[in-house]
A = this chain, B = another copy of it.
Amino acid sequence: MAELTYLEAISDALRTEMRRDDSVFCLGEDIGAFGGAFKVTAGLAEEFGADRVLDAPLAENAIIGAATGAAIEGMRPVCEMQFADFVACGFDQLVNVAAKLHYRQGVAVPMVVRLPSGGGFSGGPFHSQNPEAWFLQAPGLKVLAPATAADAKGLLASAIRDPNPVCFLEHKGLYRHVRGEVPEGEYTVPIGKARVAREGAELTVVAYGSAVHLALAAAEQLGEEIEVLDLRSLCPLDREAILASARKTGKVLIAHEATRACGAGAEVAALIGEEAFEDLDAPIRRLTAPDVPIPFSPPLEQAVLPQLEQMKEACRELLAY
């Protein structure tokens, strides 16, 4: 075990998997000698050579398309979008080519698209987005969103080994602010299993990514019997874990940073409203960003992104319901 930041844990996963398997390589803008916009790939080009940490031109469809082709041929590409927001520029290759190849043709596409996502640091409308729900409406993509350093490592390693295209959402706000014990060497976390981040009997907060930390802080500060379920994987979704917790507590708050309409939280709410209806003691609540672009200026951004006080308030309301 070593104490690593979330960012270091991601780098560690890349390094470990690249050492383990020659076919793993990285592809993205400025990821080589420069080490990437966030320095996630720092040191990799030195260790593995510029050919395995490939600087790409500014062309996201070319990147995702090249990764798809290489994956088909047995490589294990890990692409980096410089910011998750730029995935809109490689969207077609992702949702139409990579996502559907196995279903249509039995051709496996073992690739990872790393997506530095999320806001909270005045990144503005183009450097703060959380695009995960787009992928959930594109069958054939796995979608992961770790909240802890250990999960960031273990899920990325699993993503690299998975034979499918995996969208890996790395929350930029967690990069250097979240740290934790991370197993050294090879380490994987199974894809599709949620994690009970905190046990409780009165209320479930279902969250992922940055919202997990808000939920934990709220639970801590309120000192109540709040269960926090960290989804970790949005596709596949751990339906059993969600329903089990919802049935146990009877009250559910779903929290994420992404905008509201048709977000992952809507799916979780719909699932619970359909499958755990009889066990519910309160309305299913969501705490999300409203349906607006993420503004730049701190007071505006704070007004949009879910805040701890709102989380506490929502918990209190549900507990009192």
Contacts and interface: CB of A to CB of B under 8 A. Distances in A.
Given A262-B137, A273-B283, A100 B125 contact: yes
Nearest to A283: B277
Interface in A274-289: 274-275, 277-278, 280, 282-286
A303 interface: no
Interface string A177-205: 00000000000000000000000000000
Contacts of A292: 103, 139
A272 interface: yes
Nearest to A282: B277
A37 interface: no
A126 B96 contact: yes
Contact of A270 (B85, B258, B269): B269
Contacts of A85: 96
Interface residues of A, number: 50
A270 to B, nearest CB: 4
Contacts of A260: 267
A222 interface: no
Nearest to A285: B274
A89 B88 contact: no
A145 interface: no
Contacts of A286: 270, 274
Nearest to A284: B273
Contacts of A261: 136-137, 139, 235, 237, 267
A285 B272 CA distance: 10
A134 interface: yes
A129 B308 CA distance: 38
Given A266-B267, A270-B273, A259 B88 contact: no
A92 interface: yes
Contacts of A278: 283
Given A125-B100, A274-B283, A293 B137 contact: no
Interface of A: 85, 88-89, 91-92, 95-96, 99-100, 103-104, 125-126, 131, 133-134, 136-137, 139-140, 235, 237, 258-267, 269-270, 272-275, 277-278, 280, 282-286, 291-293, 295
13 contacts: A88-B95, A96-B126, A103-B293, A104-B125, A133-B133, A139-B261, A139-B292, A266-B269, A272-B273, A273-B283, A273-B284, A277-B282, A277-B284
